[in-house]
Amino acid sequence: MKVKNIVIAGLGGQGVLKASDILADAAFRAGFDVKKSELHGMSQRGGSVSSDVRYGDQVLSPMVPPGEADVLVVLEETQVEINRPTLRAGGVLIGPDLLDPAALKNRKSLNVALLGAASTVLEIPHEHWLAALHANLAEKLHTLNEQSFAHGRAAALARSSAE
Amino acid sequence: MTGERQLLSGDEAVALAALHAGVRLGTGYPGTPSTEILETFDQLGGHAQWSPNEKVALEVGLGAAFGGARTLVTMKHVGLNVAADPLFTAAYTDIEGGLIVVSADDPGLASSQNEQDNRHYARAAALPMLEPVDSQQAYDFTWLGFEISERWKIPVILRLTTRVCHAKTVVHPRAAASNIPEPSFQRNIQARVMIPAYAKPAHQRLRQKLVEIAAWNDAEGPIRLDTGRANLGIVATGIAAVHAREAAPKASQLTIGLTYPLPLGRIRTFATGVDRLVAIEEGDPILADALRAAGIPVECKPEMYRFGELNVARVRRILAGDISPEPVPPKGKPPELCQGCSHRGVFEVLRDLGCIVAGDIGCYTLGVLPPFSAMDTCVCMGASIGVGLGLRQVLPEAQARRVVSVIGDSTFVHSGITGLAEMVYNPPATGHVVLILDNGTTAMTGQQEHPGTGRSLDHSPTGKISFEALGRAMGVQNVHVVNAQDKEPSFQDLIVSLLAKSETSLVIARQPCVLAAPKIRVYEKAAAERISPANCAADGVEP
């Protein structure tokens, strides 16, 4: 399979890196070659954070080249425009406006909800998403995040059928 | 973490390989992007410890290697500057157990004060250097590093970069080693006591070792050849090699794993088979210079690509000879001191008093940004004290009296104690004020312990250095421990009174890091329960 490029972006503390860990783990469990890369450090102090995940038969560079992301997931409205150049023409943007924050039981699970939305355009079987969610989150958070994932997935499907 | 394929960061892969290869001791000082190596090694069950700084870490590691133990020493690129003194002479010695020194470089300065290229250290110290391209190679090269180190009794530098350390890629681990010899001291004075009489022949032995390692590298070193079209040949190292494979998949490419001493024979043969040879390397043109010095015609990247990280797009531009200005990515939101951070009150006071602030390395360096703009210098770990003293020594009195040195707790232990000795020994005429911002953790790198916290790398209790007792014992005239939020007397009043005195002052502003405080309470509770006799009988039982 040709390499799939996903960029997840937001602000420090929003769970960008947790989301990319879950995505990379799900793709890994699905049997793909996977590379995931981001910059730690200063970015953790509330600044802009973005993480690249690439999977396919063989991934070379761990970084998504500018303008080559197939999917861009953004957790914070102010971060949409500064990350848009990473998206290829025809790529899919999944932004926070997809969801009504009030519909989430816990707003901290926005990262997982938007992964649910992204899952509609990624070829990773559902069982691997679930396994990755479980492996990367504390047990007491499993139910909440499964619900958020399902909510985000349903919202994305509803939007795409509306379009 | 054995057997099956795993998705690991380069740091985690080095730790896993260290465990599998039988490493007895891991030492280091936290520094992005190297920190997770020792943390992971500890979590996997290895014996890992933070040293006060990288020099001590390497010296402890060298002792362990002299004693016959496989040893891993980790640090960020600028940490190797601190450890350079033992490094250069350790190269002359014969070690028994394998010794790997990890240098985690930060091209592009994701979280550092410079982007120095530590490949220069391999040539300068005459030590073999391995450069993995991904986590699998980070794992494999850790094993290989120990084999090279023990075969030639020489320390080996494992050079990682940010995108190798922090990128997660797939790793197939191998079975753990089963026949690692027990540590035992064998006297070998001429190989370990570097007085001139013994160091002169040791230098010659070192050069002979490098000749042999270069020949081995040519014959069976970790070199990957991708045979492609003859019109373009790429010779590449480190993470740049995978960018190059993606940028030019049809080119012929030679990827060098042991980058010092170079396999010049293999490269020469490769060069004769291609029409055009381009060196693709991140940072300084070290590979290109070495090939040119060896008489191998090679194209070097344009100067503009010395700066920052490489990526696929930049490698495409290098191959196309494109030196037009690069697109500037949109600026993101800069980091800032956390809401509720104890440093905020300190920098508000320093700003309001118009202080000239000699700063240091840590979260608190963010005090330079608005709304504080309260830092005037930042160079390296510990420099705040020396730089502040230098300013005090030469400035006119009105300015000299406004100078303060600001340093974090972990940084103070790392490199600030000798600065305090300087203050006591050469006090400026106006005196001086040193501020330790003690938030009880090495916050910037992810809340690691240090000798001032009283807890070891695994957060268990250990000896604790008291900064106030140290300052008094060293002869500092005024020593105060405060909370910057105190009202009576206020932190500001205290600083004003100390700046007016022509005496030496040490102020410890103590308040836990807001991010670390919950964890610190858990560690303290666990420590209290451990020493409580009532709990001895219930050891191991959940309350």
Q: Does B111 contact A41 at a Cβ distance shorter than 8 Å?
A: yes
Structural Rg of chain B based on CA atoms: 25
3-state SS string for chain A:
CCCEEEEEEEECCCCHHHHHHHHHHHHHHCCCEEEEEECCCHHHCCCEEEEEEEEECCCCCCCCCCCCEEEEEECCHHHHHHHHHHEEEEEEEECHHHCCHHHCCCHHHHHHHHHHHHHHHCCCCHHHHHHHHHHHCCHHHHHHHHHHHHHHHHHHHHHHHHC
Residue B10 in contact with partner chain A when CB distance is under 8 A? no
Closest of A89, A24, A2, A71 to residue B246, by C-alpha: A2
Question: Is CATH 3.30.470.20 what the domain over B343-529 is classified as, yes or no?
Answer: no
Q: Which of A11, A45, A124 is the best mutation test for B, with the most CBs of B within 10 A?
A: A45
CA–CA gap between residue B293 and residue B284 (Å, rounded): 15
Residues B106 and B115 sit within 8 Å (Cβ to Cβ): yes
Question: Is CATH 3.40.920.10 what the domain over A4-162 is classified as, yes or no?
Answer: yes
pLDDT of residue A41: 56
Residues of chain A short of pLDDT 50, as ranges, are: none
Strand partners, A59: none
CA–CA gap between residue B59 and residue B155 (Å, rounded): 12
Secondary-structure breakdown of chain B: helix, strand, coil percentages, each rounded to the nearest 5: 40, 20, 40
Name the residue facing A45 among B32, B167, B363 (closest C-beta).
B363
Residues of chain B short of pLDDT 50, as ranges, are: 1-2, 535-543
Q: Does A45 contact B7 at a Cβ distance shorter than 8 Å?
A: no
Residues B431 and B502 sit within 8 Å (Cβ to Cβ): yes
Q: Does B311 contact A61 at a Cβ distance shorter than 8 Å?
A: yes
Q: Give B 206-245 residues with CB within 8 A of chain A.
A: 239, 242-243, 245
Name the residue facing B332 among A44, A59, A82 (closest C-beta).
A82
Structural Rg of chain A based on CA atoms: 14
CA–CA gap between residue B234 and residue B236 (Å, rounded): 6
Domain definitions of chain B by residue range: 6-220, 223-320, 343-529
Kindly identify which residue of chain A lies nearest to residue B336, measuring between CA atoms.
A45
pLDDT of residue B3: 67
For residue B329, which residues of chain A lie inside 8 Å, CB to CB?
Answer: 66, 82, 85
End-to-end CA distance of chain A: 28
Q: Does B330 contact A81 at a Cβ distance shorter than 8 Å?
A: yes
Residue with tokens 């494992």: B158
Kindly report the CATH class assigned to B6-220: alpha beta
pLDDT of residue B542: 40
pLDDT of residue B543: 38
Q: Give the tokens for residue B384.
A: 């705040």
**One CATH from 1.10.357.10, 3.40.640.10, 3.40.50.920, 3.30.70.20 for B223-320:** 3.40.50.920
Q: Which of B78, B166, B331, B344 is the best mutation test for A, with the most CBs of A within 10 A?
A: B166
Distance of CA B11 to the CA centre of its chain: 12
Residue B124's identity, in one-letter code, is: A
Closest of B479, B511, B501, B492 to residue B374, by C-alpha: B492
pLDDT of residue B488: 77
A142: distance to nearest CA of chain B, Å? Answer: 21
Summarize pLDDT for B186-241 with one digit per residue, the tens: 999 999 999 999 999 999 999 999 999 999 999 999 999 999 999 999 999 999 99
